[in-house]
């Protein structure tokens, strides 16, 4: 069997501040979690709304890639209090999601031209999110429970697996969060809080 590697992160959607609970401002709120290439614009788009990103959206439970208007049903909606995970199986380029420690399934196969991929979250909400990259606390999802078939698969592109694995793993390790000037992040024990 070949060596397998998975890059994975989780996002805890914190409960809304009291002032925003049951407000009209949050009625159409959306949080989008996924991965994107370095070409993805950091403002004005949710993950999945263009060809350089892949996203799972909270407001409808749908997945997006390549368009803000075309999507596919995928999983349940998620909301404040939930933990959403996103991972990439490096050998197969499969992008998968978890919700509250439960495997939801494979949503996409990453295209070689979009590599390397970086974790990305789009916020059209007053909710705060907490990132977990597994350094300071355990994940809600047990990565050892991933289906074995995901780990045995190989990419069909011409790029060697070792090159792909190195590029994606490096991009997750070198993650740089770029907050908007209006809402700088604060460090919380190694996890960024927005």
Helix (H, G, I), strand (E, B) or coil at 87: strand
The pLDDT value given to residue 118: 95
Beta strands in the chain (DSSP E): 6-13, 30-36, 53-57, 62-64, 71-73, 83-89, 94-99, 102-109, 118-124, 129-132, 186-188, 191-193
Specify the CATH architecture of the domain 6-193.
Sandwich (2.60)
CB-neighbour burial class of residue 160 (10 A; exposed 0-12, middle 13-18, buried 19+) = exposed
Picking from 67-71, 94-98, 119-123, 169-173, which range would have the lowest pLDDT averaged per residue?
Answer: 169-173
The residue ranking higher by pLDDT, 152 or 57, is 57
What's the pLDDT band for 4 if we cut at 50, 70, 90?
A: low
pTM for the model: 0.78
Can you give the residue ranges of every domain in the chain? 6-193
Can you read off the two tokens belonging to residue 91?
């050998």
Q: Please determine, for residue 162, whether its predicted confidence score (pLDDT) is greater than 80.
A: no
């Amino acid at each position: 069997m070949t060596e397998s590697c998975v890059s994975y992160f989780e996002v805890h959607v914190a409960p809304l501040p009291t002032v925003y609970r049951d407000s009209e401002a949050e009625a159409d709120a959306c949080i989008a979690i996924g991965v994107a290439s370095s070409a993805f614009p950091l403002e004005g788009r949710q993950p999945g709304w263009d060809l350089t990103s892949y996203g799972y959206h909270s407001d409808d439970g749908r997945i997006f890639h390549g368009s803000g208007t075309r999507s596919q049903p995928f999983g349940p909606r998620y909301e404040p209090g939930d933990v959403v995970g996103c991972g990439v199986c490096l050998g197969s380029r499969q992008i998968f999601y978890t919700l509250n420690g439960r495997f939801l399934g494979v949503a996409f196969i990453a295209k070689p031209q979009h590599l390397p991929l970086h974790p990305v979250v789009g916020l059209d909400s007053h909710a705060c999110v907490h990132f977990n990259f597994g350094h300071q606390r355990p994940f809600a999802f047990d990565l050892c429970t991933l289906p074995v078939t995901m780990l045995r698969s190989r990419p069909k592109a011409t790029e060697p697996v070792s090159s792909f694995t190195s590029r994606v793993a490096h991009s997750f390790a070198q993650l740089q969060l770029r907050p908007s000037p209006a809402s700088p992040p604060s460090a919380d024990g190694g996890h960024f809080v927005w």
